Amino acid sequence: MEYKTLGQFIIEKQAEFPFAKGELSRLLRDIGIAAKVVNREVNKAGLAEILGSFGQVNVQGEEQQKLDVLADREFISALQRGGECCYIASEEHEEGLDFSSSEGSSEGKYIVCIDPLDGSSNIDVNISIGTIFSIYRRKSSSGRLSEQDILQQGINQVAAGYILYGSSTMLVYTTGHGVNGFTLDPSIGEFCLSHPTMRIPENGNTYSINQGNFVNFPPAIKEYVKRCQEENLPTGRPYSLRYIGSLVADLHRTMLKGGIFMYPESVRHRNGKLRLMYECNPMAFILEQAGGKASTGKDRILEIHPKELHQRTPLVIGSTLMVDMVEKLYADMD
Ligand code: AHG
Ligand code: MN
Ligand code: MN
Ligand code: MN
């Protein structure tokens, strides 16, 4: 079988940008290496002593799982070793890790926001989990980083991607020129191009939401969910509800099959639960690059001006026609 590895693909794509010096390519390869190491740990989770909680609570107020901490350490050390990164914002650290310095010693010009292990509640029950990353170029040319370098709008991302540790392990990413998916071939230890130029259907028959929060949903979301339950599709078939509880897995399915994922604001989560910098912005960039749409229900996710590293935002994302419908309900019912 003819295959193209992630490394070959990155080099090929880089050739299209002769002025590029290869730093971003190197950064993406560093992430690919860390993903293989984390995948190895994920695959033996039941055997090695890495299930269960780590015994600490993170800045999110969540009980950290051992695999949260392991994945966090692995990606940070790979990014630090690679030298292309001057700052890392991680879900698992209250403050970002700043490798820039006044002497400008860090050559790295990229800022990485990362959710090292997404879907932690699924680790111990062997359901798909993931990693999400978002990459920006620093705005200032050298020296110490400023808030303007770090809290950039999602439209400034130079790359974003996710790793899905599922029935197979996939790495899906974009650099703003479409979305490509790579599947890990364990027999050669390489991510191989398996889903070139991924596109999301403009409509779908699946909606994805934690229905358990229904009473707390805003009116527009309640109305949309009710319509999904009461009205049939044009095909005469009912909508399906699919909700895994791992954002990466829910959105990978949504991208491949079409559909909509919603995590709205509610009484319990005033600004929604999902974090802007390392969950919503990267996934919004990917879904838009695949022809989909990502909004808060009112505003485009990628145009939100971040105010703080761990800020949350409501998220309505997926097939364009379905997101349009939710936005129309927000406009009519607000
Ligand atoms: P994380 O494990 O990185 O903290 O993210 C969990 C997120 C996301 O993966 C998922 O879509 C959502 O939490 C599920 O939340 P509920 O359990 O509240 O539905
Ligand atoms: Mn978490
Ligand atoms: Mn997450
Ligand atoms: Mn996480």
Q: Which of 63, 67, 132, 247 to mutate to test the pocket of ligand 1 (most atoms within 8 A of CB)?
A: 247
Span 294-309, mean pLDDT?
98
- Is the shortest distance between the CB of 115 and ligand 1 below 6 Å? yes
> Which stretch of 62-76, 160-174, 220-234 has the lowest confidence by average pLDDT?
62-76
What distance in angstroms lies between residue 83's CA and the mean position of ligand 1's atoms?
31
Confidence check: pLDDT of 52 > 80: no
Q: Return the ∠ at Cα 39 (arms to 43 and 293), rounded to 5°.
A: 120
**pLDDT value of residue 109:** 92
What distance in angstroms lies between residue 81's CA and the mean position of ligand 4's atoms?
22
Considering only CA atoms, which residue is closest to atom 17 of ligand 1? Answer: 245
- Is the shortest distance between the CB of 245 and ligand 1 below 6 Å? yes
**pLDDT value of residue 149:** 94
**pLDDT value of residue 104:** 47
What distance in angstroms lies between residue 48's CA and the mean position of ligand 3's atoms?
23
Closest-lying ligand 1 atom to the alpha carbon of residue 62: 4
Helices (H), the chain: 6-14, 23-43, 66-82, 147-150, 219-230, 247-257, 281-289, 320-333
Ligand nearest to the CA of 250: 1
Closest by CA position to 89, among listed 70, 105, 72: 72
**What separation in angstroms does the CA of 321 have from each of 125, 201, 217, 291, 305?**
34, 9, 21, 11, 25
What distance in angstroms lies between residue 91's CA and the mean position of ligand 2's atoms?
7
Span 115-125, mean pLDDT?
94
- Give percent above pLDDT 90 in the chain: 77
Q: Which of 214, 274, 276, 313 to mutate to test the pocket of ligand 1 (most atoms within 8 A of CB)?
A: 274
Contacts of the segment 224-231: beta carbons below 8 A, 24+ positions apart: 224/262, 224/325, 224/326, 224/329
Confidence check: pLDDT of 93 > 80: yes
pLDDT digits (tens, 9 = 90+) for 237-259: 999 999 999 999 999 999 999 99
**pLDDT value of residue 106:** 62
Confidence check: pLDDT of 102 > 60: no
| Helices and strands in the chain: count of H runs, count of E runs | 8, 15
- Greater model confidence, 282 or 52: 282
Confidence check: pLDDT of 105 > 60: no
**pLDDT value of residue 50:** 67
Confidence check: pLDDT of 323 > 90: yes
Closest by CA position to 133, among listed 191, 89, 98: 89
117 is in an annotated binding site: yes
The pTM score is 0.95
Confidence check: pLDDT of 36 > 50: yes
Q: Which of 69, 124, 251, 273 to mutate to test the pocket of ligand 1 (most atoms within 8 A of CB)?
A: 273
- Greater model confidence, 56 or 167: 167
**pLDDT value of residue 103:** 56
For the chain, the straight-line distance linking the first and the last C-alpha, in angstroms and rounded, comes to: 54
167 is in an annotated binding site: no
ipTM above 0.95, yes or no: yes
Span 195-199, mean pLDDT?
97
Backbone angles phi, psi at 316, to 5 degrees: -130, 115
Considering only CA atoms, which residue is closest to atom 7 of ligand 1? Answer: 119
What distance in angstroms lies between residue 101's CA and the mean position of ligand 3's atoms?
30
